[in-house]
């Protein structure tokens, strides 16, 4: 999981870096540096981050040319989901953008977020 995807998932589920630090047992400095692309983290730390984010409602997706995160529900400041799980969906992701010259793909944020109220 790239650092920018960690940050997107964390923000979408409504966690601060401090809260993620406590849940995942990863230092807040490491989370900050990782999210901002200053460091790469060990696989064991990445697995703890992914596990904590999944427990908070994040679902990671990947396919040819994209990676992203889908979140159902969102925590409030009290830690209670603001929207019951399954009744709202938010997405953030990265897609490949070959650029105007057709050169190498560069990641760029996906456009917009989609939401739906229970069907």
pLDDT (tens digit, 0 to 9) for every residue of the chain, 119 residues total? 899 999 999 999 999 999 999 999 999 999 999 999 999 999 999 999 999 999 999 999 989 988 899 987 655 454 444 444 443 444 444 433 333 444 434 444 444 444 444 44
Structure tokens at 87: 């009744």
Q: With beta carbons less than 8 A apart as the criterion, state whether 64 and 94 touch.
A: no
Residue 10 burial (C-beta neighbours within 10 Å; 0-12, 13-18, 19+):
buried
């Amino acid at each position: 999981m790239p650092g920018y995807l960690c940050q997107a998932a964390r923000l979408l589920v409504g966690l601060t870096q401090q809260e993620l630090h406590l849940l995942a047992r990863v230092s807040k400095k490491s989370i900050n540096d990782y999210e901002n692309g200053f460091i790469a983290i060990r696989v064991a730390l990445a697995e703890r981050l992914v596990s904590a984010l999944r427990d908070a409602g994040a679902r990671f997706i990947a396919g040819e040319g994209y990676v992203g995160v889908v979140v159902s529900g969102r925590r409030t400041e009290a830690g209670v989901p603001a929207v019951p799980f399954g009744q709202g969906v938010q997405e953030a992701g990265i897609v490949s953008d070959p650029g105007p010259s057709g050169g190498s793909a560069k990641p760029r944020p996906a456009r917009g977020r989609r939401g739906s109220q229970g069907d």
